């Protein structure tokens, strides 16, 4: 299950382990161990250790984590084949349904390809923007190259606005650079932008993970680009 390293780091700092129990014993929670009763007691085995099922894990996280972190877990579960119906049923059965979980169930999708994209989607939802289409493919009419964009909106006046999440690792990691120089990576990004424009994209906004920490700044920037707000 992928989540952004910032989410993992925050969880580790809490220094607590959540133990799911299928019996109501007299064990009290301690500083580092919290117990959560489960009606079903369902589990799976990973590396010889009993752990909660993907559906149960997602249900617990949507109930207890903040929206952005919970969206990472939920989007990952959906992308890896766990159905939203199964997760929602688990949350309902186990008494885990709350307002945060309902919001996550409303907006999570299986189309985020990594934790960064899931976190960016959550940030844009928190900013009040309409849910975007994801992983939409365009074909450059000049070169025939195909490009998939991270997030896309079609405005009322017919314009296409695209938001791309740039992760700095692709400018530093030799594997992601695929034997290209830094200049080559930048040239490819420029070629991609030009190809998308030729394919009909009107506006391209590039954001970084750091931008997700300043929601007001992100909201202003995307609003200026024409990203539509969500209808209440």
With bands split at pLDDT 50, 70 and 90, how would you rate the model's confidence at 127?
A: very high
> What is the pLDDT, as a whole number, of residue 171?
44
Give the separation between CA 211 and CA 207, rounded to whole angstroms: 6
Query: Quick one: which of 100, 105, 108 has its CA closest to 72?
Result: 108
> Which of 5, 125, 8 is closest to 65 using CA atoms?
8
For helices 84-93 and 99-107, give the axis angle rounded to 10 degrees.
170
Q: How far apart are CA 162 and CA 152, in angstroms?
A: 5
Lowest-confidence range among 4-18, 98-112, 115-129, 173-187?
173-187
Closest Cα to residue 147, out of 177, 115, 190? 190
Neighbouring CB atoms inside 10 A of 21's CB total 12
Model pTM score: 0.82
What pLDDT, on the 0 to 100 scale, is given for residue 177?
Answer: 45
Q: In this predicted model, what pLDDT tens digit does every residue of 165-174 receive, in sequence order?
A: 986 544 444 5
Q: SS3 for 5? A: helix
Q: What is the reported pLDDT for 173?
A: 47
- pLDDT tens-digit series, residues 129-180: 999 999 999 999 999 999 999 999 999 999 999 999 986 544 444 544 455 5
């Amino acid at each position: 299950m992928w989540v952004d390293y910032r989410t993992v780091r925050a969880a580790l700092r809490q220094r607590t382990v959540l133990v799911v129990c299928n019996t109501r014993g007299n064990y009290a929670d301690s500083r580092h161990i919290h117990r959560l009763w489960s009606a079903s007691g369902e589990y799976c085995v990973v590396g010889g250790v009993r752990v909660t099922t993907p559906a149960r894990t997602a249900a617990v996280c949507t109930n207890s984590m903040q929206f952005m972190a919970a969206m990472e877990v939920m989007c990952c579960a959906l992308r890896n084949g766990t159905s939203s119906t199964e997760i929602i049923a688990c949350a309902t059965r186990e008494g885990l349904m709350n307002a945060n979980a309902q919001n996550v169930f409303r907006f999570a999708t299986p189309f985020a390809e990594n934790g960064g994209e899931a976190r960016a989607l959550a940030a844009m939802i928190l900013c009040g923007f309409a849910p975007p289409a994801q992983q939409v493919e365009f074909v450059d009419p000049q070169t025939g190259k195909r490009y998939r964009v991270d997030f896309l909106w079609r405005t009322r006046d017919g314009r296409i606005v695209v938001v791309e999440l740039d992760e700095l690792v692709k400018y530093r990691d030799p594997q992601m650079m695929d034997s290209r120089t830094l200049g080559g990576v930048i040239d490819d990004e420029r070629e991609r932008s030009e190809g998308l424009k030729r394919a009909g994209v009107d506006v391209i906004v590039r954001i970084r993970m750091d931008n997700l920490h300043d929601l007001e700044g992100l909201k202003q920037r995307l609003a200026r680009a024409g990203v539509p707000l969500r209808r209440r």
